[in-house]
Structure 1
């Protein structure tokens, strides 16, 4: 629930290191982050997604549901990898979509919803470019760890922005609580950890709020939930656009804000 997250996050007190958002408008600035892209959704808007395999991108599950909480057809999505000022490193349409089976669209944003706010989309054609390497997935960060977020969002739709340093306030019921600043469109943004020069995704952005007048964001843990999703999407038939079956999820009560 909201109050439980606020109390837990308020105990962190680790905002001192956090940096501001920097827009990555040049090719040189965005080179490391080119495998992050804007996921456009016809008739809805956009989210942020990242390449984790040549044929798979990772985003938040709530991005793949329409306003009436029905699943969005795969043919309404377009992924623009490394999009900057109207040009992308690669464009792909989507062949298949799957969300975690424990995610329920609409209603309350509770710990269980954030923890399972994960979706995978299979690209119609793999991206095989040296400049667009898939990001490895790593275990959940621990309290006090330093991470970074790359996102597209409201007011900065045409180029990604990087918050290079923000802090992990803690983890609760599979939810990562962060000092990272996010806004609408940033849903699904990858949370990175630098492991000796190798960028690893340790979470993705699910929701945003504030505590003591300071912004916080909530991210989903990866690991076993993501492994299950990869297996599920690999088991799906390919060839025609697919998506999860509408009506599979149940409703819940009141919420955090989805970015």
Structure 2
């Protein structure tokens, strides 16, 4: 395991601050977006959005914190959420509502420790109806990343919410407690974005964007390692009984850093 011993500081962006876009390539045309249709925007009750990606025709992988209202700590109404696969310039390849959401069993919204929260910040959304479209192929998952792995991130974000952007000029800086530290360029809305392992002519999801932070003065992305958490989420989803989504509330009474990486209005 790669160890990275350092102090992390959450980097909170004020509304209206532009993200750095070096190395980002917009996938705004059908040709540019070819092969990436399984990445989509997760709309949250008209209050914001996150990014998610299909790992099965009826399963979307995203960040757990996207399912919670940052002001109250309460879970959003799934009936007011929608996954828009391949969203680009006002249209999507497919629109689907959410039937069920399962978060990592150890994830607690509002938990103070950034690394603990990030290592469990994973959720799977089950769609009401599977997406079966020849232009949308769910992604396979990869066991893990290593330092030096060729990676890329496809995400939506503030300032580039109309179409996904692809960045492959970033690297794995290290790993600590089931969390990868990446040099990738992310911003509000990138929560839940898939981090792809791009090797041997294959494209597989190896982690999910959880937070934005600072490491020794540099901006970095924190991403949940799938080998650490995905099987545990899948095991919970396989249980017939519903699982309670936990949070530490009321958040207004907590001296929290607000480390979750969401848009100011919710996603």
* TM-score > 0.5 by shorter chain: yes
1:47 is aligned to 50
| Residues 47 and 63 in structure 1, CA contact (< 8 A), matched pair in contact too | yes
8 A Cα contact 1:116 1:225, kept in partner? yes
Flag the 1:257–1:62 CA change in 2: closer, same or farther, 3 A. closer
Determine if the alignment matches structure 1 residue 21 to structure 2 residue 24.
yes
Give the CA deviation at 1:43.
4.6
- Structure 1 residue 192 displacement after superposition: 0.3
1:197 aligns with 2:196: no
Does the C-alpha gap of structure 1 residues 257 and 224 become closer, same or farther in structure 2, counting only changes over 3 Å? closer
Is 1:249–2:247 an aligned residue pair? yes
Q: 1:218 and 2:222 equivalent?
A: yes
Instruction: In structure 2, list runs of 5 or more residues that go unmatched.
Output: 10-20, 263-267
Distance 2:128 2:8 in 1: 41
User: Contact conserved, 2:65 with 2:260, CA < 8 A, in 1?
Assistant: no
- Residues 216, 224 of structure 1: alpha-carbon distance in 2 compared, 3 angstrom cutoff: closer
Q: 1:59 to 1:91 in 2, by over 3 A?
A: same
What SS is found at the alignment partner of 1:85?
coil
User: What per-residue deviation string (whole Å, max 9, x for no partner) do you get for residues 230-250 of structure 1?
Assistant: 23223347xxxxx8535x334
- TM normalised by structure 2 equals 0.84
Contact 1:107–1:254 (8 Å) recurs in 2: no
- Give distance in 1, aligned partners of 2:217 and 2:26: 24
Give the equivalent residue in structure 2 for 1:98: 102
Aligned residues: 241
Equivalent-residue separation in structure 2 for 1:98 and 1:174 (angstroms):
19
| Structure-2 separation of matches of 1:196 and 1:164 | 15
Farther-moved stretch of structure 1 (26-35 vs 183-192): 26-35
SS across alignment from 1:192: strand
**TM-score (norm: length of structure 1):** 0.86
Gaps in structure 1 of 5+ consecutive residues: 8-17, 238-242
Aligned Cα root-mean-square deviation (Å)? 2.2
Distance 2:238 2:152 in 1: 29
